[in-house]
Amino acid sequence: MPRTKKRLDHEPKQQRSRETLERLLAATIKVLDEEGLEGAVIPKIAAAAKVAPASVYRRFADKDALLRSAFLHMLRKSNETNRERIGKALLRKTLEESAAQLMNSLLEQYKRHPRLLRALAKFIETDTDQDFATESKLYVAENISLVVDALLTFRAEIEHRFPRRALQFAVLTAASAAEGYALDPSSMWHVVAPVSEKELKAELARSFVAYLRHR
């Protein structure tokens, strides 16, 4: 009986600990989304998670360790969601319509979360933990692969000798353009080709399809 009671007492503590950790990671992403990397300080994150700052340091050695865990948690969740929904979210009846939907999704993502995505890119670039950088890039690569896999539905319309490779190149090109346009006001997209967002989406979709269908 004492053993059973001890086990039952321990389980709620573990559950509370997991819930606190989830709340802390969610709060970190929320603060990053609202205030960027510079605004993501421990007191602000702790307040958003409704925990004491000391509670953060019991779980993480420093702020960078917390940010690594939060970013990886976010990327992992993104991949899980995309694995379940990417086809329904992206695919339309034609390649042209699906390309237009992809461009719309890319631009909307960067527009909704500019500070968070800038923070992620900067942290990956500057963090001293190479294992974190490698793991983060693997998650991003997996997300791109999920998009490519979905668009392989139109394999018969792709003239390139290697359809998957062509899609990887096309998706990466579109994503890079959308990122530069949405996140960097000084980008050459706003200097050399200062088009509206609607025009950019249309041109990216047209270029995307033309490249895939080029013999």
Please answer whether residues 213 and 157 qualify as being in contact, where contact means their C-beta atoms are separated by less than 8 angstroms.
Answer: yes
CA distances from 170 to 56, 149, 153 (A): 42, 13, 15
Half-sphere exposure of 54 (CA within 13 A, CB side): 0
pLDDT value at residue 13: 65
- Amino acid symbol at 177: A
Please answer whether residues 64 and 40 qualify as being in contact, where contact means their C-beta atoms are separated by less than 8 angstroms.
Answer: no
pLDDT greater at residue 152 or residue 193: 152
pLDDT in tens, 28-64: 999 999 999 999 999 999 999 999 999 999 999 999 9
Instruction: Tell me the mean pLDDT in the region 10-19.
Output: 71
pLDDT in tens, 137-180: 999 999 999 999 999 999 999 999 999 999 999 999 999 999 99
Q: Between vectors from CA 195 to CA 192 and to CA 198, what angle results, nearest 5°?
A: 150
pLDDT in tens, 123-133: 999 999 999 99
pLDDT value at residue 1: 45
Half-sphere exposure of 78 (CA within 13 A, CB side): 19
